[in-house]
């Protein structure tokens, strides 16, 4: 069985299980979507919004390489517009992750076979140059890339704060910056609406 065939079979089992547990579930799902959160994450297969146990209907999603909020990204702009104007989400989560291939690539020479990826991650190269002094102090490539992934999340949070659409959103939209650790599966808050930008804090502190 190919993986897509298995996906279809698993889908049958999934939909049956939910229908048995909650016969009206799909009727409700079809009637409307009222997500509270827009998730801007990386396309990496290991970091779906499902790491928060979100169910269908709960999170509106945009994912791209290295969770970037591109100034001229039509796809992101349309998702953002719909999320704010129509769905009226109250929160935007930018979620990056450690061991991010897109961020790691930004610390290496451009790969000739990946012109589109190179173009996309160019802002991360500029970010790495901006924080070169801090990154140089870190020992290994992995540590540098992981710190750059965190700085990248903070940069995207700042980019969102600067957008007129976000600034004029009614109701006010709160922006969160999170990083996912591959090593323990935990999300850590890097930027919270109530904290000053660039200030880091632990998710446990935020919860307390
Ligand atoms: Zn990634």
Ligand 1 centroid from CA 50, angstroms? 15
On whether both 4 and 75 belong to a single domain, the answer is no
On whether both 71 and 16 belong to a single domain, the answer is no
> Are 57 and 30 in contact, with CB atoms under 8 Å apart?
no
Strand order across the 174-180 sheet: 59-64, 37-42, 91-97, 174-180, 187-191
On whether both 41 and 15 belong to a single domain, the answer is no
Ligand 1 centroid from CA 178, angstroms? 13
Ligand 1 centroid from CA 57, angstroms? 24
Identify whether 99 is a catalytic site residue: no
Q: Residues 146-171: pLDDT tens digits?
A: 999 999 999 999 999 999 999 999 88
Mean pLDDT score across all residues of the chain: 92
Identify whether 44 is a catalytic site residue: yes
As for how many domains the chain has, the answer is 2
d(CA 94, CA 160): 9
Ligand 1 centroid from CA 171, angstroms? 30
The CA-based dihedral angle spanning residues 44, 50, 52, 58, taken in that order and rounded to the nearest 10 degrees = 120
On whether both 47 and 97 belong to a single domain, the answer is yes
On whether both 19 and 91 belong to a single domain, the answer is no
Closest listed residue to residue 193, CA positions, set 180, 171, 64: 171
CATH number at residue 88: 3.40.1050.10
Percent of the chain with pLDDT over 70: 93
Q: Residues 65-111: pLDDT tens digits?
A: 999 998 889 999 999 999 999 999 999 999 999 999 999 999 999 99
Instruction: Give the range of the structural domain holding residue 25, as residue numbers without chain letter.
Output: 1-31
């Amino acid at each position: 069985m190919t993986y897509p065939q298995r996906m279809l079979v698993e889908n049958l089992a999934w939909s049956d299980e939910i229908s048995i547990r909650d016969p009206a579930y799909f009727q409700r799902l079809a009637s409307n979507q009222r997500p509270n959160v827009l998730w801007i994450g990386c396309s990496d297969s290991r970091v779906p919004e499902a790491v928060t146990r979100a169910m269908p209907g709960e999170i509106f999603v945009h994912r791209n390489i290295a969770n970037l909020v591109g100034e001229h990204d039509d796809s992101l702009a349309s998702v953002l517009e719909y999320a704010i104007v129509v769905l009226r989400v109250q929160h935007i989560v930018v979620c990056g992750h450690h061991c991010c291939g897109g961020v790691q690539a930004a610390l290496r020479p451009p790969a000739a076979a990946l012109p589109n990826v190179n173009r996309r991650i160019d802002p991360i190269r500029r970010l790495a140059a901006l924080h070169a002094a801090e990154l140089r102090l870190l020992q290994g490539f992995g540590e540098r890339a992981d710190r750059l992934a965190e700085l990248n999340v903070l940069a995207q949070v700042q980019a969102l704060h600067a957008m007129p659409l976000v600034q004029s959103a009614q109701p006010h939209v709160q922006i969160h910056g999170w990083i996912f650790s591959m090593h323990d599966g935990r999300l850590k808050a890097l930027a919270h609406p109530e904290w000053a930008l660039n200030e880091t804090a632990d998710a446990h502190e935020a919860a307390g």
